[in-house]
Amino acid sequence: MPDQGIFRSGGISAISSLYPFDESFTNFSEEITVIPNPNNGIFVLSGVSNTEEIVVISQEGQIIKTIENNGTSELNVDISDNRKGIYLIKIIEKQRVYVKKSCNKLIEPPKITFF
């Protein structure tokens, strides 16, 4: 590491700009969709034909489900046996990883009773 500019030995380093290495990386998030979202724990991931593996992770960081993809563009996912909440969907390709959020098992608002 150079001892000049914003990088100094024993000091604080800063990154002023970050650019994706590949043009296709910027559109990756729009290519993959979770349908429906929110859902009841059963949903379809579409646009995942280049995906090798999909990992569903709870808010606590537990791996709920791991799915290996054999090149199909849509995957049906069922995590309806798990509790209500928001889950992260980690989508793994050969050279990149992306995370999407899914609100599974729609959390119903509390019922209010008026007297």
The CATH code of the domain that includes 41 is: 2.60.40.3080
CB 32 within 8 A of CB 64: no
Residue 65 pLDDT:
95
> Is the pTM value of this prediction over 0.75?
no
Q: What residues make up the domain containing 52?
A: 23-104
Q: Which stretches of 1-115 are assigned E, i.e. beta strand?
A: 33-35, 42-46, 53-57, 63-68, 74-78, 85-92, 97-104
Residue 33 lies in a domain: yes
Note the pLDDT tens digit of each residue in 67-93: 999 989 999 999 999 988 889 999 998
If we measure between CA atoms, which residue out of 97, 106, 102 comes closest to residue 58? 102
If we measure between CA atoms, which residue out of 86, 38, 27 comes closest to residue 59? 86
- φ/ψ of residue 65, rounded to 5: -155, 140
